[in-house]
Structure 1
Amino acid sequence: MGTGQTTSPSPSPSGSTTPPACNPGTGNIAQGKPATASGSTQTYGAGNVVDGDANSYWESANNAFPQWVQVDLGCSLSLARVTLKLPPSASWGARTETLSVQGSTDGSAFSTLVGSAGYTFDPATGNTVTITLPSTAVRYLRLNVTGNTGWPAGQLSEFQVFAS
């Protein structure tokens, strides 16, 4: 195929259209995907967690736990892990955020993939946390934040998702 051409879904024998296969590719499959949150403060919206910039971030409303941020991957995929980041600046002191990871195929009914636990973000080690996921196929991946020792809100600069 030439540059700029795409394939159309093929009709099935019954005449209905089959959607193209879901191919996550490699690398961070959440980057550039739609992100939403239970709420945010000022200009620190959910889109900041999928923009590829570790210096921008999402921040929920203060003193209102639980809060969540989620990404729509576009189709159900079996996932391997998430990498969570806060801004790398040393001005972001070490903190522990208590969170769980939830997944959904329809964006309405969520199940817990990884139970609630405290994850320490430390600028001395890049303010990065990696969480291994069970191989359950989900389209929507949500972080449910219930605590933060560094600020009374959920905070996250990058929500990276990697397929298995």
Structure 2
Amino acid sequence: MRNKYVVWSLVVTLLISSLYLAAGPFTIVSASGGTNLTLGKTVTASGQSQTYSPNNVKDSNQETYWESSNNAFPQWIQVDLGTETSIDQIVLKLPTGWEMRTQTLAVQGSTNGSTFTDIVGSADYVFNPSAGGNTVKIDFSATSTRYVRLNVTGNTGWPAAQISEFEIYGA
């Protein structure tokens, strides 16, 4: 009888182990990451230069970009999430081949699209192609907002705001 118990225990352990192996590695999901909430949403900006449309920041192509009007800081770009949503991370990208630059910006939120408050106060963000692929991650405590705006006040690489991808992630 004891041998039967040992055999069944081994069979059950083998089955469970096989299921875990077949499912692949498991990762713990944190509040940040997940689905890019910008995709499919309405994007507007304070202005644009030439054909560098605000919609370029949601096309999943790091080589296309939005560029604001030149020599006219501050400039902004915003995403309407459609409804109040809990967010806790922004990922910004510039084209991979661009030289290093620093952009000064604040992340702002609004529930009505007209009154904005800082989610993350103004700070300098370094876009470096050789360290991070010209990508900047901005983490912050989860907050609920409908409109997410980047208010850009400086750029050491060009006299305008420039963003290739504006990804928003939430809890």
Paired with 1:160 and 1:73, the residues of 2 have a C-alpha distance of 12
Corresponding residue number in structure 1 for 2:133: 126
- Tell me by how many angstroms 1:133 deviates: 2.5
**SS of corresponding position for 1:49:** helix
Corresponding residue number in structure 2 for 1:86: 94
Corresponding residue number in structure 2 for 1:68: 76
Match of 1:37 among 38, 45, 54: 45
Which residues of structure 1 form unaligned runs of 5+?
1-25
**SS of corresponding position for 1:159:** strand
Runs of 4+ that moved beyond 4 A: none
Note if 1:154 corresponds to 2:161.
Answer: yes
Corresponding residue number in structure 2 for 1:27: 35
Task: Tell me which structure has the larger Cα radius of gyration.
Answer: 2
Paired with 2:141 and 2:57, the residues of 1 have a C-alpha distance of 22
- Tell me by how many angstroms 1:31 deviates: 1.4
Letter in 2 for 1:140: Y
User: 2:62·2:93 contact (CA, 8 Å) conserved in 1?
Assistant: yes
- TM-score normalised to the size of structure 2? 0.78
Corresponding residue number in structure 1 for 2:110: 104
- Tell me by how many angstroms 1:62 deviates: 0.7
Paired with 1:135 and 1:44, the residues of 2 have a C-alpha distance of 31
Deviations 1:85-129 (A, max 9, x none): 00112xx10000000000001111111110000000011120000
Paired with 1:137 and 1:80, the residues of 2 have a C-alpha distance of 9
Match of 1:144 among 129, 151, 160: 151
Letter in 2 for 1:154: A
Corresponding residue number in structure 1 for 2:12: none
- Tell me by how many angstroms 1:134 deviates: 2.6
Which residues of structure 2 form unaligned runs of 5+?
1-33
- Tell me by how many angstroms 1:45 deviates: 1.1
Task: Among all aligned residue pairs of Structure 1 and Structure 2, give the percentage whose two residues are the same amino acid.
Answer: 57
- Tell me by how many angstroms 1:143 deviates: 0.2
Q: CA RMSD in A?
A: 0.8
- TM-score normalised to the size of structure 1? 0.82
- Tell me by how many angstroms 1:32 deviates: 2.1
